[in-house]
């Protein structure tokens, strides 16, 4: 791996002056933040020396599986009820009970898969209470959004279903019958029941989760106990829809402990014909210290740096677990599936703490970009990831309040990164330098590149430094390009947010840059994310 996230030596110090030319087409607010240098020689102060990036298109890496841009929608807080489901009789515009505004927004993200119904919720979910004309509520769960509604939602936004079955309180038979309900033809008893409930064609289940955090909320199982359960579920839970191959994902590590990974992978290596898995789950949240306490609004640069530091630690988590998996699976058949990740912060004041509601700021945008970059660098092993969570919960794409909806900075990053879905990783080499805030030292910048299926090269650059802009000078050896265009996401402050009353405080803006003499030069704002396509 040539791209280097961690710097060896500091090459740039923050907080120096800016020797860049300001672009004239920017709004006044953006001008304060975004400094765009169009192929301009930067006669700078040493501290503003461009980050020298070399792009090596002759050595393509792995394909960045589009599934790393997956989402997670749990029955938690207002993630489902209010966020997705408002009911058919709602005055909020909906299609069969599902919010139209949310569907439209999500379609633009080309969401590859959605994990549902949990989370911890999945390991106590009784799917039968959520089908048919008469729903059977549970405490705090009306069950009006069940399997058929989820599949309708998945179809409306154009995504694949990642179903987590109940391996905690449920039986293998319960889970097998759920899959039968979803995927069997109509001459099957449960397939016929699905047809009576309005959907004759078998559903497609692309991914099956075999439990969730079974070392804790999923049943506090020892690794060996879990492996025995997981093997039974893997064998007996059958997908009957041959039009959709289904991948199975087993529970992976608790924190950094190797126990589950070792046990699951050792079992996998010695597996018989009767069961298999194609993925191992990893959950990793950036918190800045447990329990989650960092505020999601009104924070300072220290809290910004603390959270970004945690996000970057994802790299080490993946390396540690990958090293264990490599022992059993050097051919990388089993994917590492980071099916819960994101910022977990203090709940929004006044909200029910159990609902895990939090605002989403420019800090989240930087965190999202850095995390996606980590996944992309590990694309040979990390072939799926699901940000937690899609709507109104934790690091959400979208916030809703009754009939109002707002797109978060994280949404915008996911939108800007769409060209990276299924693109081939292109190595970049650079020295990231350092940025220090309140004693926390981080790399100053980050960047990745990839070539899409049409042959176009995309570069994503993140300026982590919250105080100073950063100039990137990218050598494009062997690549014919005269310019680059794309979008940049910056904000007046690192804690800037979009609210229902001011929804566009953090919004992407168009940028372009010329390439001259085989070099592309661009200067970006502090704490910003920029994605450019070479032309
Ligand atoms: O995403 C919130 C919770 O975090 C999930 O339910 C659980 O799997 C994890 O601990």
Please identify, by atom number, the ligand 1 atom nearest to the C-alpha of residue 212.
8
Contact 237, 172 (CB under 8 A): yes
Distances (CA, A) of 55 to 68, 74, 189, 293: 23, 40, 57, 39
Q: Look at residue 477 in the predicted model and tell me its pLDDT.
A: 84
Q: Look at residue 268 in the predicted model and tell me its pLDDT.
A: 98
Distances (CA, A) of 491 to 34, 125, 297, 405, 526: 9, 41, 14, 20, 8
- The span from the CA of 321 to the CA of 332, in Å, is 13
Does 177 participate in catalysis according to the annotation? Answer: no
- The span from the CA of 14 to the CA of 17, in Å, is 9
The residue to which tokens 């461009």 are assigned: 50
Contact 81, 149 (CB under 8 A): no
Q: Look at residue 478 in the predicted model and tell me its pLDDT.
A: 82
Does 213 participate in catalysis according to the annotation? Answer: yes
- Six token digits for residue 516: 């001259």
If you take atom 2 of ligand 1, which residue's CA is the nearest one? 119
Distances (CA, A) of 165 to 214, 249, 284, 387, 434: 12, 11, 21, 19, 44
> Looking at 177, 213, 229, 301, which residue is catalytic?
213
The residue to which tokens 């070392």 are assigned: 215
- The span from the CA of 260 to the CA of 256, in Å, is 10
Ligand 1 centroid – CA 119 distance (Å): 5
Question: pLDDT digit of tens for each residue in the chain (535 aa)?
Answer: 223 222 222 222 222 222 222 222 223 333 333 233 222 223 333 346 899 999 999 999 999 999 999 999 999 999 999 999 999 999 999 999 999 999 999 999 999 999 999 999 999 999 999 999 999 999 999 999 999 999 999 999 999 999 999 999 999 999 999 999 999 999 999 999 999 999 999 999 999 999 999 999 999 999 999 999 999 999 999 999 999 999 999 999 999 999 999 999 999 999 999 999 999 999 999 999 999 999 999 999 999 999 999 999 999 999 999 999 999 999 999 999 999 999 999 999 999 999 999 999 999 999 999 999 999 999 999 999 999 999 999 999 999 999 999 999 999 999 999 999 999 999 999 999 999 999 999 999 999 999 999 999 999 999 999 999 999 999 998 898 999 999 999 999 999 999 999 999 999 999 999 998 899 999 999 999 999 999 9
Pocket probe for ligand 1: among 211, 218, 283, the residue whose CB has the most ligand atoms within 8 Å is: 283
The length of the chain, given as a count of residues: 535
Please identify, by atom number, the ligand 1 atom nearest to the C-alpha of residue 216.
10
Q: Look at residue 98 in the predicted model and tell me its pLDDT.
A: 98
- The span from the CA of 334 to the CA of 326, in Å, is 9
Contact 3, 429 (CB under 8 A): yes
Q: Omega of the bond prior to 509 within 30 degrees of 0, cis?
A: no
Question: What are residue 169's phi and psi, to 5 degrees?
Answer: -95, -10
Ligand 1 centroid – CA 395 distance (Å): 12
Residues in contact with ligand 1 by the CB-under-6-Å rule are: 74, 118-120, 212-213, 340, 388-389, 394
């Amino acid at each position: 791996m040539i791209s280097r996230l961690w710097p060896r030596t500091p090459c740039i110090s923050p907080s120096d002056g800016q020797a860049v030319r300001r672009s004239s087409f920017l709004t006044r607010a953006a001008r304060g933040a975004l400094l765009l240098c169009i192929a301009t020689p930067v006669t700078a102060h040493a501290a503003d020396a461009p980050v020298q990036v070399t792009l090596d298109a002759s050595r393509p890496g792995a394909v960045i599986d589009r599934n790393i841009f997956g989402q997670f929608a749990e029955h938690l807080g207002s993630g489902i009820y209010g966020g997705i489901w408002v009911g058919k009789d709602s005055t909020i515009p909906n299609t069969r009970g599902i919010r139209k505004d949310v569907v439209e927004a999500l379609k633009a993200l080309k969401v590859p898969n959605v994990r549902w119904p949990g989370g911890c919720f999945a390991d106590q979910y009784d799917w039968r209470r959520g089908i048919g004309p008469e729903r059977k509520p549970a405490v705090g769960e009306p069950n009006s959004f069940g399997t058929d509604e989820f599949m309708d939602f998945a179809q409306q936004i154009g995504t694949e279903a990642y179903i987590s079955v109940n391996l905690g309180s449920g039986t293998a038979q319960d889970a097998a019958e759920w899959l039968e309900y979803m995927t069997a033809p109509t001459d099957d008893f449960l397939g016929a029941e699905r047809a009576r409930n309005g959907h004759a064609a078998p559903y497609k289940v692309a991914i099956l989760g075999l439990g969730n955090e079974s070392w804790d909320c999923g049943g506090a199982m020892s690794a060996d106990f879990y492996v025995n359960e997981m093997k039974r579920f893997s064998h007996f839970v059958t997908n009957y829809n041959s039009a959709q191959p289904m991948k199975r994902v087993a529970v992976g590590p608790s924190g950094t402990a190797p126990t589950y990974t070792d046990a699951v992978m050792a079992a996998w290596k010695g597996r018989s014909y009767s069961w298999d898995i194609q993925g191992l789950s990893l959950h990793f949240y950036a918190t800045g210290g447990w329990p989650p306490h960092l505020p999601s609004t009104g924070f300072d640069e220290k809290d910004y740096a603390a959270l970004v530091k945690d996000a970057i630690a994802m790299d080490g988590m993946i390396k540690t677990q990958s090293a264990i998996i490599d022992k059993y699976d050097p051919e990388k058949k089993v994917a590492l599936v980071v099916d819960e990740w994101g910022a977990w912060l203090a709940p929004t004041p006044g909200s029910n703490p159990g609902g895990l509601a939090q605002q989403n700021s420019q800090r989240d945008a930087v965190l999202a970009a850095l995390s996606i970059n980590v996944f992309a660098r590990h694309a040979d092993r990390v072939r799926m990831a699901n940000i937690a969570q899609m709507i109104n919960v934790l690091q959400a794409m979208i916030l809703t309040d009754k009939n109002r909806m707002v797109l978060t900075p994280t949404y915008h990053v996911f939108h800007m990164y769409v060209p990276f879905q299924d693109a081939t990783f292109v190595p970049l080499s650079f020295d990231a330098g350092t940025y220090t805030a309140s004693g926390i030292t981080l790399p100053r910048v980050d960047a990745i590149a990839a070539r899409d299926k049409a042959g176009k090269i995309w570069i994503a650059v993140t300026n982590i430094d919250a105080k100073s802009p950063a100039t990137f000078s990218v050598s494009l050896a062997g690549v014919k390009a005269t310019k680059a265009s794309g979008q940049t996401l910056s904000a007046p402050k690192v804690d800037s947010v979009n609210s229902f009353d001011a929804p566009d405080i953090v919004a992407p803006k168009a940028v372009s840059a010329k390439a001259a003499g085989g070099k592309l030069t661009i200067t970006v704002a502090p704490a910003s994310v920029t994605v450019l396509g070479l032309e």
